[in-house]
Structure 1
Amino acid sequence: MASFIPAALLWIVTVWRTPAAWRVPAKRALWVAFFALSIAMTIRPDGVSSALDSWLGIHNVATLCKHLAGITAAYAVLTFVYDVAHEQATSLRGSRPRITIPLAAGVGLTLLFFAAPQPGEATDLLTDFADDWRIAVYGVIWSGYLGTALVSATRLCWRWGRLPEAGLLGRGLRITGMGTALGIVYAGHRVLALALRYFGLTPVSPRTDENISSAFLFGALVFILAGSTLPVVRRLHQWGRAHLALTQLYPLWLELTSAVPSVRLDPPRSRRADALLFRHTRGRLYRRGIEIRDAILDLGDHASPALRSEAARYVAEKGLIGAQAEIYAEACWIASAKEARENGDARAGEHTAPASGGKDLHSEVEALRHLATAYESALVREFSSARSSG
């Protein structure tokens, strides 16, 4: 069961990256890499490869498919690293990877595979039939191309990833470089195992050799996955903060826009439905802030200068000072003005600048979050209750 975990993770990443790959051509190389790796790791377990061989009626054809997918993945990773490095650091010169080389390698593997006699299923094609020169050349081509591509990718990853201006993307490339370096070790191990088996030497059992090979391969996949997704972490963090702010502002937004429904662009959803809507988070947050501010401006017409002064005195009596006092005083008169509007009281105030606000979306959201916290506080409820009973 554990052998299917890498394939499952790779398919999850592949599906997740599919929309972006279709929208942005520059992201397709990495998507191709994950797609090819997903195929290779899916057919890697013995049960799956045997079933595929039986279904197609060709001994060991699953191994050929796996190796062709590996060549595709290696070329795609190299292309991705090249594109990222040369887009961000034009000082790094070099020729773009040519597709003719992996195509020639793939054709060579296919011809050698079908030319070599294979009387039965092999546990490992490269070692079980290593005494056949065609399989030996097959192994050299496969491991040689894989190793060469990974050496180039590792060199690019480390050259660009160490530049001071590389930032988080550079850190991701360095981690990817660790994965491609492990891939080089994997390829070297396969070449060594192939050479030893060709000369009839078996220093370790085939099972042990397979476990060592799997460890190198899985380690390389983990680092490549981590490195390629690291630059997304910051965007996910920013999205998470925006979505959290969106849900935190919901009660204040619903309260105020219920009193001033004309400021709403769309009808309100339930709080749960709103929290479970994950699309267009930044645009919705921007709109929510505007609608809250528009509602406050409208409610300001129901907040007389006397009410504002009373709110300021009230929070001062509670021991609040400075910016905190201004925010809580604003929340107090907003709550009272909302009640006055809902009761149909005549307009008694005027438009004034808000006590808090920001110059950009981030600072404005922070100001509104402070206001929302104050609006829901016991202090504001006590102020509203005192005015209502008075």
Structure 2
Amino acid sequence: MNRFLLSLLIPLCGFLSCNAPENPSGHITDFSNLLLPAPISGGFKMEEYWIWGGSAIKSPDGQYHLFASRWPKQYPFNQGYVYHSQVVHATSDKPEGPYTFKDVALPRRPGYWDGKMTHNPTIQQWEDTYYLFYIGSTYEGESPDADSLRKIRKIYKKPAYKNIRIGVARSTSLDGPWERLDSPILAPQPNGFDSVVVTNPAPYINEDGSVDLIYRTHIRGTGNRLAYARADHPLGPYRRVIQAPISTAIVEDPFIWKQDSTYYILAKDMEGSITGEKHAGVFLTAKDLTQWTLGENPKAYSRTVKWTDGTQTVQGSFERPQLLIQNGRPTHLFAATADGPGGFRNANHTWNMVTPLKQSE
């Protein structure tokens, strides 16, 4: 049995049969074969801000709307997002962009669970309503200044990080206003396997409005893992399908979609043990969301990017993968990217980039 597949099944013993599932015969067997050169002038950037992530959708009038995270560059990248990020909204006439900033979709709202930070958005539509999934946080006191943030080395031990929760907002217009819930849809379980953090929501809304939500947690002593919750409606309530991770592989930044009765995930290979390249993309398939197997080619993408002008670069970051889905098919890959040699402390610029995809048969 494939070593990775075995590791996927280990957490499920006691919950499900540990027999190896049949290999899903999904429509896409090698995601990397779909990648086309990335437009040099595409995506979304703002010179005075760190830009991270990016989730796009097409509106009825043919315009493309992108939701991303931003925070001022005066703050250090890794510490700054926890305290100062906001979900913003940008638009373009073309799916690859460039996208132009339009407004702050989810600003601060003091007194709530997401009162001082919103981040990592994913936009979905069900019937005539748009649902914007995201993470948020709050904390006591004033937001720390740039000098104070630079002195923080273990951001994950701070209340601002520990208070991260997953939420959802809704609107009948991509221009808002967005109606937010008073409470998060998912929070850490104090004594559960995901007690450290719940973050990076990856929702898939089914035709009946039920939601399959893959999210990232952290298991003490072992690292990042993916987990699975479900709800009968986008607004919840959400329940853990399994009280354990759905994978022992060290991955994060999942994106989930369904095509031709097969589910797919793109995720970030934290150590490179799956793809052979640290922080490259992992491609997974499933018929049963509790039992995932690697795609025929497990490497979905590399940090080595080919551009439309014929050049090739190794990006410092290429993560938070999300897809633009049109007519039930992925047409463009959106990713957070950075310059520099790699590592959040070594980037001078971050932005959202877009890679067009060949259309599967």
- TM-score, normalized by the shorter chain, greater than 0.5: no
Q: Comparing both structures, which one devotes a greater share of its residues to helix?
A: 1
Name which structure has the greater RCO, CA cutoff 8 Å, separation 6+: 2
**TM-score scaled by length of structure 1:** 0.21
Q: Comparing both structures, which one devotes a greater share of its residues to strand?
A: 2
Q: Could you say which structure has the larger radius of gyration?
A: 1
**TM-score scaled by length of structure 2:** 0.23
